[in-house]
């Protein structure tokens, strides 16, 4: 019985390694928005199943608590790019309700969430960097 379990574990590890290698190969061909969305989705998967602690993915290297953030400017950028909140949410790996909150300036000030990190990186990519990242 131990032999069978050991063989199964070995095959699972081999399968996992092949998926990781495939992921690495495809990642380089993604555009920036797709990479951000993929990372946000991976973070959501890893933290939702308690595979890793949420605190491990919530660390971010910018000061956001006292930064003047203009939700109006963020909304203007999105609208100038002719993106709906739903479309932007898909790009950032989050929900349109989160985009609505971010644009109203009601983002989480006590901690950074993966969706907020993706949104901030999207803003920076589109010329608005209020957090100096």
Tell whether 64 and 88 lie within a shared domain. Answer: yes
Q: Is the dihedral of CA 52, 53, 54, 57 positive or negative?
A: negative
* Enclosing H/E stretch for 8: helix 2-27
Tell whether 109 and 54 lie within a shared domain. Answer: yes
Q: Which segments within the chain are labelled E, that is strand?
A: none
- When pLDDT is cut at 50, 70 and 90, the band that residue 83 belongs to is very high
Whether 132 maps to a domain, the answer reads no
> Of 4-18, 41-55, 82-96, 108-122, which has the strongest mean pLDDT?
82-96
**Global pTM value:** 0.52
Instruction: State how many domains the chain has.
Output: 2
- Mean pLDDT computed over every residue of the chain: 76
Tell whether 23 and 37 lie within a shared domain. Answer: no
- Pick the more confident residue, 32 or 81: 81
């Amino acid at each position: 019985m131990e032999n069978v379990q050991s063989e199964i574990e070995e095959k699972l590890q081999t399968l996992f390694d092949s998926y990781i290698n495939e992921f690495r190969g495809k990642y380089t061909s993604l555009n920036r928005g797709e990479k951000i969305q993929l990372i946000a989705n991976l973070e959501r998967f890893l933290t939702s199943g308690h595979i890793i602690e949420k605190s491990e993915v919530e660390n971010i290297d910018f000061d956001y608590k006292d930064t003047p953030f203009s939700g109006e400017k963020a909304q203007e950028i999105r609208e100038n790019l002719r993106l709906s909140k739903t479309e932007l949410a898909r790009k950032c790996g989050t929900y349109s309700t989160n985009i609505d909150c971010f644009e109203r300036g009601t983002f989480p000030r006590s901690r950074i969430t993966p969706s907020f990190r993706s949104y901030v990186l999207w803003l920076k990519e589109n010329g608005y960097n209020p957090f100096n990242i």
